[in-house]
Structure 1
């Protein structure tokens, strides 16, 4: 793998318990699986793109993403069900970019231009993370310095800590305030979908 400036990781290994029997990543928004939407919206702003998933998901994802724009590599979770921080850590063992965009597969309206802005904000720092309307950070739609996040996530997981936001406490983070988010994009581009009802609401909003 050649050295790149920007890597991307799509987190798709969750068990989707609140989504019923269906794999949330494959649920369709406007006729397109969410994981495919996220891949196609992330790939224009990165030099390489990895999808972090469970081994049991890989064949289905490969079939769905075969027609997606841009090339995609797959990284399987060494410990399925360990959470998004473990998924990020697994993917970071295979990325070559100095900075990496992390996007959860359940944020299907992600804005490529907004993601590119986060790469700019992360320059010279260890992360750029948006704050949602209530001020809560959203670490699953953010950009990280790969070496720093690799080191921090490894240390946390070794200590038994799986909470994604715990990594932010160990990094030099540029937090993007809600006012800046509103000035640059729509809130639905940061919305994560956890239930079929939320998916239907987002589909209505995008029409």
Structure 2
């Protein structure tokens, strides 16, 4: 099901969320990272719920195997659509390449399933920045100058052109060379968006435990904005398929 609810951030969306959930999570341990819980919710559910609210559309979840799709399907509480990884490349690029054809909007926002503090305001801000510019991608840079390619807004057609060539390079960084990219440093982000918080990802159980301990004192907020993760969903049927 594709939702058509207005995300409440002032934008009738021309945006689809894409969540990469096909990794092996080898650093996390024997159980899948996507279904690990923070504040009572699976990481992938926290991410998909926020993207659903911002875009009003079912996020596309890239999952490599049937087992991964079944685990995610059981963990999420909003509509999602699944896309297989592309078979001509590997890693996160395969998930992104496999998802593009499932996106019907002009723009997409890509993130990992392990980013439980994803801020709706950050997603909306990047999407608007992309819509208002001539760039083909809006990529935040961290404090050390590294591009956050898995917390970025992209032009769907431009990505499709890149992947149509099936580049031999499997690295996500190839997008920096193949696309017109607006790189936004910390100073260029609006004050109401905590980009550093929103881009936080979880790679190990220790990182998740530390994040849970930190969140225990701030539950109910998300980078200075109300945390609506536990709020009721928009009215209507919520079906995962």
State the TM-score, normalizing by the size of structure 2. 0.78
Give the deviation of 1:21 after TM superposition. 0.6
SS in 1 for 2:213: helix
SS in 1 for 2:144: coil
Q: Which residue of the partner structure matches residue 136 of structure 1?
A: 146
In structure 2, how many angstroms separate the alpha carbons of the residues matched to 1:181 and 1:195?
28
In structure 2, how many angstroms separate the alpha carbons of the residues matched to 1:168 and 1:200?
33
Query: Please, which of 104, 113, 121 is the counterpart of residue 113 of structure 1?
Result: 121
Question: What aligned pairs does 1:82-93 form with structure 2 within 5 A after superposition?
Answer: 82-93=90-101
Distance 1:102 1:122, change over 3 A: same
SS in 2 for 1:10: strand
In structure 2, how many angstroms separate the alpha carbons of the residues matched to 1:81 and 1:26?
25
* Contiguous gaps of at least 5 residues in structure 1: none
Q: Which residue of the partner structure matches residue 173 of structure 2?
A: 165
Work out whether 1:198 is the aligned partner of 2:198: no
State the TM-score, normalizing by the size of structure 1. 0.90
SS in 2 for 1:139: coil
Judge conservation of contact 1:107–1:193 (CA < 8 Å) in 2.
Answer: yes
Judge conservation of contact 2:85–2:97 (CA < 8 Å) in 1.
Answer: no
Which stretch shifts more, 187-196 or 90-99? 187-196
Work out whether 1:147 is the aligned partner of 2:157: yes
* Contiguous gaps of at least 5 residues in structure 2: 3-12, 217-241
Q: Which residue of the partner structure matches residue 16 of structure 1?
A: 25
Q: Which residue of the partner structure matches residue 36 of structure 2?
A: 27
SS in 2 for 1:24: coil
SS in 1 for 2:177: helix
Bigger strand fraction: 1
Give per-residue Cα distances to partners, 1:122-159, cap 9 Å, x unaligned.
1232011100110100000110000101221343xx23
Judge conservation of contact 1:12–1:104 (CA < 8 Å) in 2.
Answer: yes
Give the deviation of 1:184 after TM superposition. 3.3
In structure 1, how many angstroms separate the alpha carbons of the residues matched to 2:168 and 2:203?
25
Query: How many corresponding residue pairs?
Result: 202
Query: Please, which of 172, 175, 185 is the counterpart of residue 177 of structure 1?
Result: 185
The structure with more radius of gyration: 2
Give per-residue Cα distances to partners, 1:28-76, cap 9 Å, x unaligned.
11111100000011111223411111222111211111xx23x211112
Instruction: Give the superposed CA RMSD.
Output: 2.1
